[in-house]
Amino acid sequence: MVRMDSLVERFVPQLREALEIGKNAVIRPTGEEIRNVFLSGLGGSGIGGNFVQDFVREELKIPFVVGKSYEIPAFVGAGTLAIASSYSGNTEETLSALDKMLTTGAGVVCVASGGKLIDIAKEKGLDYIKVPDNWPSPRACLGYSIVQQLYILHKLGLISERATESINSAAMLLEVEADDIRKKASMIAEMLHGKTPVIYINDRMEAAAVRLRQQINENAKMLCWHHVIPEMNHNELVGWRTKNDNLAVIILRNKNDHARNQVRIDINKEIIGNYTNTLIEVYSKGSNLVEQMLYFVNLGDWISVYLAELRKVDSIEVKVIDFLKDELARY
């Protein structure tokens, strides 16, 4: 039986394989000047889009919107690069969104390991990138999702190679830090065990907090929540007014966070520390945003695996999601 820890161990090789797949992909010009980008994806494929949003924010000169539903925005049309991303190729919300994309005149590209998405791409003559289909857990395939989306943008002239080059340097960083990451993740998991995690991060890196939350949800079978700084200083901070040691706060930080956010976090620590005994600060490693965020991805994945072990739950199974899909199929 495949274990989640064996999949997390393969994250660095996956990144490198994804780079090779992306380099060799053929993506034709859309025939229109691209004025905006829309990506449809759920779960692990959707969070890939959120990472790409963060990675290209300072370089991409046009809007990049991620959709996680059956619908698409009204702006999608001629001049839109529309990406449909689903690891299985059978995500019903993404397939619904794809049907709508095909009626708009948008330039459509698909990313999947197979399934209906690739079948439709072939039938309609769409460009597509096929990733390996031998991974039992779509959420373990984040590297494939991120890298292919970056290459689509690059091959269409929307971004340089800077982000994909940073993926390669991030892989090298994670190799060097592998032992330390696992040791740190194990310690953090021990501190989170038996508590409800609350994750805070600066707004520039929200995707990393979302990823950690989702991994804790699915791998460790736990509820948790996240928020971003500075936005949480305008609402959620007021909710910290009752002592609750069942909550464990983890703050994901970077030495190059905005100076004002650094000050905000320090003040937040003083306030929140009055209401919980568990407050964990974790600083990223890496010389650029991509490296720092992928460091948090790998660290967070290991935290979720160790939490699953502490809770004695199967980190792979998602029976309740399977049940939901079976019930939906009845209607």
Catalytic residues: 218, 234, 325
In the numeric block, which tokens belong to residue 31? 């025939």
Residues in the chain: 331
- The CA distance from 106 to 190, in Å, is 48
Residue 51 backbone class (left: φ over 0; alpha: ψ -120 to 50; beta: rest): alpha
Q: Cβ contacts of residue 157 below 8 Å, gap of 6+?
A: none
- The CA distance from 147 to 150, in Å, is 5
**Residue 38, beta-bridge partner list:** 65, 82
Helix/strand/coil (H/E/C) assignment for every residue in 42-91: CHHHHHHHHHHHHHHCCCCCCCEEEECCCCCCCCCCCCEEEEEECCCCCC
Residue pair 150/53 in contact by the 8 Å Cβ criterion: no
Q: Which residue has the tokens 């964990």?
A: 280
